[in-house]
Structure 1
Amino acid sequence: MLSEIPPDIPSIGLQFRLDGGIFNLARLRAKTKTTFCEVRELQYADDSATPDQTAEDLQSLADAYSSAYERFGMQVNTDKTKTLVQHPPGQTLPALNIEIKNQPLEEVDQFSYLGSILTSTPTCKKDVNRIMAAHSVFGRLNCRAFNNHALMMNTKIMVFRAVVLSMLLYACETWTLYRSEIKHLERFQQTKLRQIMKISRKRHTSNSEVLERAKMTSVEVTIIRYRFRWTHHVHRMQNSRFPKRMMYGELAKGTRPRGVPKNALQRPAESHSGSN
């Protein structure tokens, strides 16, 4: 389908270099060893997404895809096609108003796909709120597994790790977490493990002792382990695969603001001024 798209259609530029350190962004300034590619389509299982940087470019890309589909005797389902815009920090953009065959596409603030939640703000707060889903799964297994006296404690812990913890940390390899969010996830893990092992609060059992009895690691260590496993998986991919190019590259256009990221708990400047 990509061969049917004219080469002059706007796209997102990506520059990458598959050698050197991943976090050494200075290596991407080389003119001879850096490769450029254009991104017009992102595959999600049997669906696809068409990213772009402006509403005008996205409209041109949507028209190009609609024309390409017609050549194959297909058409875009406007009821299932949504648009989502991620605003720059501190800015608000007008509505996209993207149309396909004079049919407007619905603009949404968040979109759920394969268990992950894509939002208009580039954060993982919606994904971290999977605690309610994990709590629901725990409740459905409470009578049959966790409160079942016929099952051994090791079996209960294995069920918790395989079902509840997997639901809680689904797609955590891509999360950018703050310390408060990690503590929120660890609090859920500690509460459920203490409930399974019948550990009362009056015993004053430390969190490390609870993890040692359950033969489990903390949520933070588990997320780090998942990230290393996913990174190794991407590293072993072929050089032509987009995830590997994305991990070893960056956007060709756009600049980052200088300095360290602002602290989420930082107060406004006027709040620090006061009378002596």
Structure 2
Amino acid sequence: MGAIIADEGSKPEILASVAQATAALAKLKTIWNDRNIALSSKIRLMRSLVMSLFLYACEYWTLTADTDRRIQTMEIRCLRKLLSITYRDHISNEEVRNITRQAIGPQEDLFTTVKRCKLKWYRHITRSTGLAKTILQGTVQGGRRRGRQKKRWEDIPEWTGMTLGAAMRKVERREEWEELVAR
């Protein structure tokens, strides 16, 4: 699937996705500058054309505080480009989000979308039987590296507010899990 495997986790893959999405955003410059197209239509186009390209295979990313920041930066950069707002205009990121919220209503941010995709994939793998489930639930022998540890699949309950066992049981009940992911 074109995944980049590196020692530093998913950072190179996320950077490659950012580069692809930025290139797609630049190619659509004539649409963003067109004053005859409504802002709501531009935002929907950006979410369907640019963000979908960015989110390809996001289920496999290892999320850290740095990658979280990069994902949020990508989203704000796209919105600023779409709204023709530069950083020299001294408009805060929250104000940019408010402008888009007024244009199309409340939308989940990009990092929340990544987490939702990861939770759906987690349910899919946990319900299956095979190598992916074994790898997902397995442990590796040896010591840990220094510094803050990367997020693991055992950290999924942190997003859901449940213990690992409760999350594993809830995965078996599809409707309840999808309701949890929607929240």
Could you say which TM-score interval applies, normalised by the shorter chain?
Answer: 0.5 to 0.7
Superposition RMSD in Å: 2.5
Q: Which amino acid aligns with 2:131?
A: F
Q: Alignment partner of 1:137: what SS? A: helix
Question: Is 1:170 aligned to 2:170, yes or no?
Answer: no
Aligned to 1:232: 123
Aligned to 2:4: 117
TM-score, normalised to structure 2's length? 0.64
1:150–1:188 distance in 2 versus 1, CA, 3 Å: same
Q: Alignment partner of 1:205: what SS? A: coil
Distance apart, 1:136 and its partner CA: 1.0
Aligned to 2:146: 262
Q: Which runs of 4+ in 1 moved over 6 A?
A: none
Q: Which amino acid aligns with 2:143?
A: P
Q: Alignment partner of 1:123: what SS? A: coil
Larger-gyration structure (1/2): 1
Question: Could you tell me how far apart the structure 1 residues matched to 2:82 and 2:125 are?
Answer: 36
* Identity of matched residues, %: 24
Contact residue 124 and residue 175 of structure 1 kept, 8 A: yes
Specify which of 105, 124, 132 is matched with residue 19 of structure 2. Answer: 132
Distance apart, 1:128 and its partner CA: 1.6
Q: Which amino acid aligns with 1:166?
A: S
Aligned to 2:138: 250
Question: Could you tell me how far apart the structure 2 residues matched to 1:242 and 1:255 are?
Answer: 18
Question: Could you tell me how far apart the structure 2 residues matched to 1:136 and 1:200 are?
Answer: 18
Count, aligned residues: 142
The structure with more strand, counted as a fraction of residues: 1
Question: Could you tell me how far apart the structure 2 residues matched to 1:226 and 1:206 are?
Answer: 28
> What does 1:74-153 correspond to in 2, within 5 Å?
114-119=1-6, 121=7, 123-130=9-16, 131-143=18-30, 145-153=31-39
1:243–1:214 distance in 2 versus 1, CA, 3 Å: farther
Q: Which amino acid aligns with 2:34?
A: N
Distance apart, 1:223 and its partner CA: 1.8
Q: Alignment partner of 1:115: what SS? A: coil
Aligned to 2:46: 160
Aligned to 1:38: none
List runs of 5+ in structure 2 lacking aligned partners: 102-106, 149-183
Distance apart, 1:138 and its partner CA: 0.9
Q: Which amino acid aligns with 1:118?
A: I
1:188–1:245 distance in 2 versus 1, CA, 3 Å: same
List runs of 5+ in structure 1 lacking aligned partners: 1-113, 265-276
TM-score, normalised to structure 1's length? 0.45
The structure with more helix, counted as a fraction of residues: 2
